[in-house]
Structure 1
Amino acid sequence: MARFIFITGGVVSSLGKGLASAALGALLQARGYTVRLRKLDPYLNVDPGTMSPFEHGEVFVTDDGAETDLDLGHYERFTGVPARMTDSVSSGRIYMNVLEKERRGDYLGKTIQVIPHVTNEIKDFLSIGEDEVDFMLCEIGGTVGDIEGLPFFEAIRQFSQDKPRGQCIFIHLTLLPFIAAAGELKTKPTQHSVKELRSIGIAPDILVCRSESPIPQKERDKLALFCNVRPDAVIAALDLKSIYEAPLAYHREGLDQAVLDAFGIAPAPKPNLTRWDDVADRIYNPEGTVKVAIVGKYTQLEDAYKSIAEALTHGGMSNRVKVKVEWVDAEIFDTEDPAPYLEGFDAILVPGGFGERGTEGKIKAAQFARERKVPYLGICLGMQMAVIEAARNLAGLHDAGSEEFDHEAGEKRFTPVVYHLKEWVRGNHTVERSLRDDKGGTMRLGAYDAILKEGSRVAGIYGSTRVDERHRHRYEVDIKFREKLEEAGMVFSGMSPDGRLPEIVEWPDHPWFIGVQFHPELKSKPFDPHPLFRDFIRAAKDNSRLV
């Protein structure tokens, strides 16, 4: 049966609970334990799938088709454990489940209340798969004191009481602000946060304190005394140059040992941190720099493309180079020539997105990369825009477009090279969708197989002719235009197993130009870079003077 570690946050949000959870999971793995990480979010959305990237950052997609919080990406990147649909839940999902049960009569006419019905639903979620691993790490989103988070805090309090003594511990992550005028770190916000936590029945076993500077021993002793934790359970979380140093930094601070001590595990297995030593070496000792332009529409918020940025870093590590990413707003190219903006880059990446805004700029970016022989990686919408560019400029389909941007395609206002996918095969059954469906969870989501063309560039990159990758989209390139596009030189080098859905396109006469309908960034890890990103950065390195 798993031991449970609950990670909560206090004082302010965005302190890095997800990163701390992921790093701790990696450290427990380094000691030989199996782990699974989960995220409980208090917002009322059923999942982040319908939330704007400006609201919530990227949506991370699991193999089994769940749209989840971006922290699950951290969990996967640090532990290599594939996330599942049962690793992410929100208040919206919990309340939906409760209300559906009430409508079915499952509660036998009882009055439905937060306690016990909502909290029981949360506890049932926490119990899923508890026999599969040694440690279950559960991060509670938001900050202690938030009204929407109260059912989750009550549920984990009850859960810890239901389990045998010593089966659950609590880690509280807080901020120690530095007051420059006073010249000292202030512990009072953390004291108040712990007081708030204890007022709802939860006493933290370990404090993780974010700080811009080292925490003096006097402050550590003060926190231990007033927050009722052991002095060696006050862990400093200092700012780092790279998130991938976090496992080593937390180990130096003794976080993993403090966790094992809290559970009474002795003697503790020695950790093997060779993997993370190698990751740190590759991060901090590059042999050059390459510049990559990300031409997107959510460039004001880098978290909107979090997994892409990290996958580029992984590709750089694999090639022993630092990847310098610059964010370029695709809308600029709607009215301006892209050349002055893109001429100095070693490679160009056009990511996914939704809606028409910025798409003409993405098309121009694809054209620039094709004509100037600059390495290009198009992901999801980035692939579709590359296909539309080829259709317009090389295949004679001058009015090529996408149904996503004009639902009147049936009236022939343009040629719908990209169309709304109404039917596809998942496993052994057919999935059907229409434009009138709800937006949430109605896309082609999760892992699907692709068959790669023998001798193609992508088959060489993968070292295989069959791969599975994660998808998140509701529009597809129409296969009926394949012949015209291939006559123009574009190769459809990856297809769905039934041959109906294009998965990958490439230009064989180009140094490196690949478009993929799926999201390869979701499977990349620092110790196991995704093959496409590894080879993309290799091509950028070949195209670079390595400044």
Structure 2
Amino acid sequence: MKTKFIFVTGGVLSSLGKGLAAASIGALLKARGLKVNIQKLDPYINVDPGTMNPFQHGEVYVTDDGAETDLDLGHYERYLDQPMAQINNFTSGRIYHSVITKERRGDYLGGTVQVIPHITDEIKNAIKSVAQNDEDVAIIEIGGTVGDIEGLPFLEAIRQLRGELGKDQVLYIHLTLVPYMKAAGELKTKPTQHSVKELRSIGIQADIILCRSEVDLDQDIKSKIALFCNVDPDAVFTAKDVRSIYEVPMALYEEGLDQKIAIMLKLPAKNPNLQSWENLVHRLHHPGPKINIAIVGKYVDLRESYKSLHEALVHAGLESEREVELRYVNSDSLIPGGNVQQQMSGLHGILVPGGFGSRGIEGKIAAISYARSQNIPFFGICLGMQCAVIEFARNVLGLRDADSQEFSPDTEHPVIYLMKEWFDFRNNTVQKRCQESNKGGTMRLGAYPCVITEGTKAYEAYQTREIMERHRHRYEFNKKYAQQFEAEGMIFSGLSPDKSLVEIVELENHPWFLGCQFHPEFKSNPMRAHPLFREFVRAAGLAG
């Protein structure tokens, strides 16, 4: 069977949940035994979100091969339980960069380079790249909202593909909003009608309309939308608000969405095996005792900045039979020696996540000091681990000037520093870093190996000696200070294979105090919590 393509577009407004819809469709089709791949096309001009402010774009998701991508790829991995890569996320910036590079190289033989056909051809090549391994279905999510000027080349490209691939090979699904007007007590279909009209004006007729709504759409409303939007009467589906994002696949299945897709694309008639999703929803509806965990971060005003982190804690709660109540604490608001105890009261666990820059660092260090001294389970991730090292150096080793070179380049005790070079085990090469500037210097991006010491909390979690975890950082622990740390009870329980890089630290004589240089949240799954998150939540549960 040739690969079938499903294109998911959105209208009326942003943040309707195209990524969740695309991921849920992928999960339903994969449950039918189909081989599925999925891709996000983002219209913004940035080459990738790696340099974007988390307040603007939310979390930067990192894949095994080191791609910095849109956070929707996290949904894709979690729902399909398969790794994403560079080919699963393209932006306008990346597309235009490729075309301009070809033009400079002379690939177009002196011809005039235009949006059509050159940009649209590049987009089509990107789309086809996710169907190179005999996939049965490729799902392509188009970022942004229909009507956005920057999204037009992508919409034109997917319009062209139906003509090139054939009608039976392409399906257009349009996600739109059907608002419920409480004052009038009725649903309004006009925004959906206008959104579909906008899509049709550029040559795309939606085959299926997915209606985001607070309430269920009755058959009369669905028939009205079908009539005015020129789709089959049974091709209008409710995407009703649910309590948890992990209820979406089952909600769409109960609407019959996957069955309609299978009919329209002539997919094999197989009933999906959704037992694991049914079990997951059951666990969501029957949570265990509640525990309170704080996320002490710099970007807490936009929760999307910590999307994978949030979900990893939910996964760990499900597996540990605990209901995790999250308290987001702005590290800028914490005053060392001041309000820390007040803000941290009633907590069963404290997590300090990653980030960049000096803002809010002293608040993070104060929270870590409280967790260490009060025997509260602590989990530090990336920058959180580095802050734990700084806190320990200052308050246990007595190195009052201890700091990271990221925040204090001239510190007397750079316990966290910028290595001039390091060995990349993935391709057996030495990577060099730029010392002069944080910007543009080589980062450790993607999956790298780590060797774990037996008899440690880390080994207790993983139950294996060798792991691969994803990184996104420049600074490392300065091993010049290793003996001082070990003498006072800090254990380096995870190291790179050549022992040059510290990957995991933990403390003796503490209920659970662990920091890791990598980002374990990127490898957590609703059906299978990440080992470190699972053990952290279990420790917090015991503290509760």
Does TM-score exceed 0.5, indicating one fold? yes
How far apart in 2 are the matches of 1:129 and 1:330?
40
Contact 2:433/2:441 (CA < 8 Å) preserved in 1?
no
Q: Distance in 2 between matches of 1:520 and 1:301?
A: 21
Aligned length: 539
* Deviation for aligned residue 1:438: 8.3
AA of the residue aligned to 1:300:
D
Q: How does 1:146-185 map to 2 (within 5 A)?
A: 146-185=148-187
In the TM superposition, residue 440 of structure 1 has moved relative to its aligned partner by 5.7
**Correspondences of 1:110-189 after superposition (within 5 Å):** 110-132=111-133, 133-189=135-191
Q: What does 1:489-500 correspond to in 2, within 5 Å?
A: 489-500=489-500
Mapped contact 1:120–1:155 kept (Cα < 8 A): yes
Amino acid of the structure 2 residue aligned with 1:461? A
- Distance in 2 of aligned mates of 1:269 and 1:116: 39
CA distance in 2, matches of 1:483, 1:218: 73
- For 1:417, the equivalent position in structure 2 comes to 415
Which SS does the other structure have where 1:128 is aligned? Answer: helix
**Which residue pairs with 1:524 in the alignment?**
524
Question: Shift of residue 63 of structure 1?
Answer: 0.2
Contact 2:38 2:130 survives alignment (8 Å) = no
Does 1:45 pair with 2:46? yes
Distance 1:167 1:371 in 2: 61
Q: Residues 350, 78 of structure 1: CA spacing in aligned structure 2 closer, same or farther, 3 A cutoff?
A: same
- Between the aligned partners of 1:442 and 1:148, the Cα distance in structure 2 is 30
In 1: Cα distance, 2:42 partner to 2:59 partner: 15
Matching of residue 390 in structure 1 with residue 392 in structure 2: yes
Counterparts of 1:181 and 1:396, CA distance in 2: 64
1:368 aligned partner:
370
Corresponding residue for 2:298?
Answer: 297
Q: Distance in 2 between matches of 1:265 and 1:351?
A: 43
Residue 56, structure 1, aligned to residue 54, structure 2 = no
CA distance in 2 between counterparts of 1:209 and 1:167 reads: 24
Which secondary structure does the structure 1 equivalent of 2:30 belong to? Answer: helix
Q: Closer, same or farther in 2 for the Cα pair 1:316/1:261, shift >3 Å?
A: same
1:500 is matched by which residue type in structure 2? Answer: S
Residue correspondence of structure 1 range 204-219 to structure 2 within 5 A: 204-219=206-221
Partner residue of 1:352? Answer: 354
More displaced stretch, 199-208 vs 436-445: 436-445
CA positional deviation for 1:153: 0.3
For the pair 1:431 / 2:431, whether they are aligned, the reply is yes
Contact preservation (8 Å) 1:334, 1:358: no
Q: Distance in 2 between matches of 1:479 and 1:418?
A: 9
Measure the CA separation in 2 of the matches of 1:321 and 1:450: 29
Supply the distance in 2 between the matched residues of 1:314 and 1:149 (Cα, whole angstroms).
Answer: 34
1:313 aligns with 314
Distance 1:467 1:148 in 2: 41
Aligned to 1:533: 533
Aligned residue number for residue 80 of structure 1 = 81
2:111 partner letter: K
Cα deviation, 1:66-106, whole Å, max 9, x if unaligned, reads 00000000011111110101100100011111111111111
User: Contact 1:176–1:189 at 8 Å: present in 2 too?
Assistant: yes
Whether the 8 Å contact between 2:225 and 2:236 is mirrored in structure 1 is yes
Q: Which amino acid aligns with 1:329?
A: N
1:179 is displaced (CA, Å) by 2.0
CA displacement at 1:420 relative to structure 2: 1.6
Q: CA deviation at 1:304?
A: 0.5
The answer to whether the aligner puts 1:446 opposite 2:433 as a matched pair is no
Asked if 2 retains the 8 angstrom alpha-carbon contact of 1:58 and 1:70, the reply is yes
Q: Deviations over 1:133-172 (max 9, x none)?
A: 2111100000011000000000111122111331110100
The DSSP-based 3-state class of the residue aligned with 1:189 is helix
SS at match of 2:351: strand
- The 1:293–1:60 alpha-carbon spacing in structure 2 relative to 1, beyond 3 Å, is same
- In structure 1, give the amino acid aligned to 2:392: A
Counterpart Cα distance in 2 of 1:372 and 1:437: 38
CA–CA distance in 2 between the matches of 1:76 and 1:437? 33
CA distance in 2, matches of 1:113, 1:372: 63
| Aligned AA (2:460) | G
Query: Is this contact kept in 1: 2:451–2:495, CA < 8 A?
Result: yes
| C-alpha distance in structure 2 between counterparts of 1:360 and 1:216, whole Å | 54
Does 1:400 find its partner at 2:402?
yes
Distance in 1 (CA, whole Å) between partners of 2:471 and 2:114 is: 38
Letter of the 1:145 counterpart? G
- Give the stretch that moved more between structures: 526-535 or 157-166: 157-166
Cα offsets for 1:33-76 (capped at 9, x unmatched) = 11111000000011000000000000000000000000000011
Structure 1 distance, partners of 2:32, 2:440, is 40
What is the one-letter code of the residue matched to 2:333? I
Q: Structure 1 residue 432: deviation in Å?
A: 1.4
Deviation by residue 1:288-345 (Cα, 9 ceiling, x = unmatched): 1111001111111110000000000000000111100000111122352411111210
Matches of 1:390 and 1:539 in 2, distance apart?
A: 21
Q: CA deviation at 1:129?
A: 3.9
* Aligned residue in 2 for 1:227: 229
Task: Tell whether the 8 Å contact from 1:42 to 1:141 is kept in structure 2 after alignment.
Answer: yes
**C-alpha contact (below 8 Å) 1:49/1:440 kept by paired residues:** no
What is the CA distance between 1:488 and its match in structure 2?
Answer: 1.0
Q: CA deviation at 1:406?
A: 2.4
The residue that corresponds to 2:260 in the other structure is 258
Deviations 1:231-283 (A, max 9, x none): 211010011000001110000011111111111235x2011110001111111
What whole-Å deviation, never above 9, does each CA across 1:204-223 have from its counterpart, x for those lacking one? 11000000111121110011
State the identity %.
Answer: 55
Paired residue secondary structure (2:514): strand
What's 2:344 paired with? 342
**Cα distance in 2 for residues equivalent to 1:14 and 1:3:** 26
SS in 2 for 1:334: coil
Q: Which amino acid aligns with 1:510?
A: H
Normalising by structure 1, report the TM-score. Answer: 0.97
CA contact (8 A) 2:47 2:94 kept: yes
Output the amino acid matched with 2:240: L
Residue 436 and residue 137 in structure 1: after superposition, are their counterparts in 2 closer, same or farther (change >3 A)?
Answer: farther
Q: Secondary structure at the match of 2:510?
A: coil
Q: When the two structures are superposed, what TM-score results if normalisation uses the length of structure 2? A: 0.97
Letter in 2 for 1:370: R
